[in-house]
Amino acid sequence: MSKVLVIAEHLDGKLNSSTARAISAAAAIKPEAIDVLVLSDKADAIAAEAAKIQGVNRVLTVERPENAHPLAAALAPQIAQVAAGYSHVFAPSTTFGKDVAPRVAALLGVAQVSDVMSVEDSHTFKRPIYAGNAIITVQADPSHIIVATIRTASWPAAANVANSASIEALSLDVALPSHTRFIELKQGKSDRPDLQSANKVVSGGRGVGSKENFEIIYKFADKIGAAVGASRAAVDAGYVPNELQVGQTGKIIAPELYMAIGISGAIQHLTGIKDAGTIVAINKDAEAPIFEIADIGLVGDLFKLIPELEQAID
């Protein structure tokens, strides 16, 4: 029987919704147990949130000062030790999970299964390849533990339940490496929703034309309560910081509403929005490939159409 250990992702004392998505993938294996591991310097509030997620049997916490920041080099040896006794270790396929899971796999001497989109059985998974243009079915060796990252956009967040799972504090005897230490975190401050978990996302592309012009995207996003994203061309041109990039080499997202404004619809961009609900495109070129996948397409100049949309909302 399978036993899955899900690594909790959290920031500022709050659990990230990517954890509940990884728990949905764990539940698809129909395991005997799903435990969530919270590594933090202050784990109580995060563990309490995790304990309320449907399907969770136990929340395990490891509290130590070195876990104040998610340094993969420090977390991985602890995860590898807790992993003994589990058949699977799952982490979300976010920046956090992509950083930590390969180190865990390496420490356990196994190959990682990346970007699990669906579970066929406990050792067989589907995952995207060639920038999402093909889906491959992979089978992992059942004689080894499986370390996998879960493509969060492919899984709904497991619901919360009234009864909380038990929470157990672990004390591990693991020597942590001293070659990697936290110095500082430089983070863009924003009151906007988080791009990776927002229900609505408004993205601008090269068509927006400049950093100054991008104000129109920010303003419109704020009006509808959306997160802001961008194409790689907009990032490369310096219109926006690169944490806003959506696509193959940026964020893979699945909002209910995705608005692509001045974005042509290159395959590498579309990879990032494959699982979005409704896609709206605004582009002055009626032949732009984005219209092939858009549910609603507006052909015209974004600088004319966005103010019109704003007026209509008012």
Binding positions for ligand FAD, rule: CB under 6 A: 205-207, 231-234, 245-250, 262-264, 266, 268-269, 272, 282-285, 288, 301-303
Q: Kindly tell me which of 12 and 287 has the beta carbon lying closer to ligand FAD.
A: 287
Q: 32, 137, 149, 168: which is closest to 87 by C-alpha? A: 32
Shortest separation between residue 284's beta carbon and ligand FAD, angstroms? 4
Shortest separation between residue 251's beta carbon and ligand FAD, angstroms? 8
Q: 246, 248, 287: which is closest to 267 by C-alpha? A: 248
Shortest separation between residue 218's beta carbon and ligand FAD, angstroms? 16
Q: Kindly tell me which of 90 and 239 has the beta carbon lying closer to ligand FAD.
A: 239
Q: Kindly tell me which of 75 and 208 has the beta carbon lying closer to ligand FAD.
A: 208
Work out the number of other CB atoms within 10 angstroms of the CB of residue 287: 9
H helix runs in 14-171, sequence order: 17-28, 44-51, 72-82, 95-108
On the CB side of 55, CA atoms within 13 Å amount to 23
Shortest separation between residue 272's beta carbon and ligand FAD, angstroms? 6
Shortest separation between residue 145's beta carbon and ligand FAD, angstroms? 31
Structural tokens at position 124: 């067989």
Q: Kindly tell me which of 55 and 247 has the beta carbon lying closer to ligand FAD.
A: 247
Q: Kindly tell me which of 103 and 251 has the beta carbon lying closer to ligand FAD.
A: 251
Work out the number of other CB atoms within 10 angstroms of the CB of residue 30: 11
Shortest separation between residue 205's beta carbon and ligand FAD, angstroms? 2
C-alpha to C-alpha distance for 310 and 305, rounded to whole angstroms: 9
C-alpha to C-alpha distance for 49 and 181, rounded to whole angstroms: 28
Output the CA angle 26-95-83, nearest 5 degrees. Answer: 40
Q: Kindly tell me which of 193 and 297 has the beta carbon lying closer to ligand FAD.
A: 297
Answer whether 146's CB lies under 8 Å from 140's CB.
yes
Structural tokens at position 17: 């919704």
Shortest separation between residue 226's beta carbon and ligand FAD, angstroms? 17
Largest CA-CA distance found in the chain, in angstroms, rounded: 62
Q: Kindly tell me which of 285 and 292 has the beta carbon lying closer to ligand FAD.
A: 285
